[in-house]
Amino acid sequence: MNKRWVIALWGLIVLGLTGCDSYPYKDKIQRGYDLNNQSGNKAICMIVGDIKRAIYPYTTYHMEGEDLPFSEKTQISFHNRVKNENLHFFAERGFFTEEWVGETDGKPLYRYDLTDLGRQYFDGFRNQTNFCFGRIVVDSIKRTKDGINGIGGGTIRDVYITYHVENIPDWVKDPAVYQRFSYSEKLTTGEKLSGMHSFRVIGKDKLKTVSGISGIYQWASPNDDED
């Protein structure tokens, strides 16, 4: 094959892999993130547990099997245990008041209520208690890649991006906090990170968001998983 044709063919392959086109992915992704985070403080959320705001003050309880490893059978009791641990964890950091109210089977029971700090960062999505912060800023588009949607067919376009997080409160920078919720230290310092935003292709230059990196709710690791 002519060398010139080989070079041209290789250029087309690279173009297809990197998804270099004129579509304004960066602006579209940023607008979507900002539309759903108008306060600039709800891009990243830590799940405390399934406690509605109206339930506070909330008293903990214990369940059989909560000390067993996570499984399909133990998942409800396991998450109740992690919720109790999260309440104590955030009480130590000023998000809740904590009052001992007794014990059951030798295990302590506590009553918790939100403080002013807790109310400041509270988010009640899915009728649960979450603490949220930050705004995602899209820095650049690295490449795109099209694939077939395994559910329902059609084309899914994955857009690989670099981004950083702004509006990071000081309490998030505590290693005990970001490590408990499996966040990178780079996230807490505003350094650039890599991520992916996925669209469903619904027509020429028509894309609908499927998933992204803003508005993500993250569970904590249980205490016995920590160093």
Burial class for 63, CB neighbours closer than 10 Å (0-12, 13-18, 19+): middle
Asked if 212 and 142 sit in the same domain, the reply is yes
Asked if 36 and 148 sit in the same domain, the reply is yes
**Domain end: 108, 132, 156, which one?**
132
Mean pLDDT value across residues 184-204: 95
Asked if 139 and 221 sit in the same domain, the reply is yes
**Domain end: 132, 156, 176, which one?**
132
Asked if 161 and 102 sit in the same domain, the reply is no
pLDDT category at 19 given cuts 50, 70, 90 is very low
Beta strands in 105-189 (DSSP E): 107-114, 122-123, 129-133, 135-148, 155-166
CA distance 65 to 110: 19
Asked if 182 and 113 sit in the same domain, the reply is no
Asked if 30 and 54 sit in the same domain, the reply is no
pLDDT score of 45 more than 90:
yes
Q: Residue 81 falls within a domain, yes or no?
A: yes
Share of the chain above pLDDT 90, in %: 80
Q: Residue 11 falls within a domain, yes or no?
A: no
Asked if 111 and 149 sit in the same domain, the reply is no
pLDDT at res. 9: 41
What does the pLDDT look like over 79-122, one tens digit per residue?
A: 999 999 999 999 999 999 999 999 999 999 999 999 999 999 99
Asked if 31 and 59 sit in the same domain, the reply is no
**Domain end: 115, 132, 149, which one?**
132
Which amino acid type is present at position 206? K
Helix (H) or strand (E) run with residue 99 in it: strand 96-104
pLDDT at res. 225: 57
Which amino acid type is present at position 144? T
Q: Is 57 helix (H, G, I), strand (E, B) or coil?
A: coil
pLDDT score of 64 more than 60:
yes
Q: Residue 16 falls within a domain, yes or no?
A: no
The reported pTM is 0.85
Question: Pick from 32, 25, 27, 28: which is nearest to 214 by CA?
Answer: 32
pLDDT score of 201 more than 60:
yes
Asked if 101 and 156 sit in the same domain, the reply is no
Asked if 37 and 138 sit in the same domain, the reply is yes
- The per-residue b/e assignment along 74-98, b for 16 or more CB within 10 angstroms, e otherwise, is beebbbbbbbbbbbebbbeeebbee
How many domains, in total, are found in the chain?
2
pLDDT score of 219 more than 80:
yes
Asked if 75 and 98 sit in the same domain, the reply is yes
CA–chain centroid gap for 170, Å, is: 18
Mean pLDDT value across residues 162-180: 97
Range of the domain at 156: 24-41+134-225
Mean pLDDT value across residues 135-156: 91
Mean pLDDT of the chain: 90
pLDDT at res. 118: 98
* Token output for 94: 């000023």
Asked if 201 and 93 sit in the same domain, the reply is no
pLDDT score of 1 more than 60:
no
